[in-house]
Amino acid sequence: MSAASIPLTLPKAAISEDLIQRLVHAFYDRVLRDEALSPIFKDRIGHRWDEHLAMMVDFWSSVALTTGRYAGKPHLAHRGLGLAPNDFQRWLTLFEATADETCGEAAAFFIDRAHRIADSLMIGLAIGPKALTLPTPAEARS
């Protein structure tokens, strides 16, 4: 069965902390080797990779298992990085490939949530397609 045909309401029993840990570590290993994304992450995170990975495990645990362990502010964390829609597309491409390879029947769930998260971040950063319909600060003042 392909990841696309798995229901997004997959029981939480199919998702575990171990699965989340494997997904996050495999994904960021790819990010570090990616020509486009590696510089963005290395410049921002530097030598704090273990801390970042632990935070991302907490984030995905909160998303997938509703553990509530993540208390960060993703929109603020991504401000000032100069991200463009193509950066998010590359992130999603790497994430989808990693989820397909590591998550088995839960891949569709993680991929769906990743797309929602990317959309939310792009809207919050006013750089995504949906954000283009929002008035610019100058338009909002007039």
DSSP string, 2-32: -GGGS-TT--GGG--HHHHHHHHHHHHHHHH
CATH number for 90:
1.10.490.10
Handedness of CA 59, 114, 18, 97 (dihedral sign): negative
Query: Structurally, how many domains does the chain consist of?
Result: 1
Which tokens belong to 67? 């553990």
Residue 127: how many CB atoms within 10 A of its CB? 17
The answer, yes or no, to whether residue 81 has pLDDT greater than 80, is no
Domain assignment of residue 142, yes or no? no
Domain assignment of residue 125, yes or no? yes
Domain assignment of residue 121, yes or no? yes
Domain assignment of residue 70, yes or no? yes
Per-residue pLDDT tens digits for 101-141: 999 989 999 999 999 999 888 888 876 555 444 444 444 44
User: What's the pLDDT score for residue 130?
Assistant: 53
Domain assignment of residue 122, yes or no? yes
Domain that holds residue 98: 13-134
Which tokens belong to 28? 């960021």
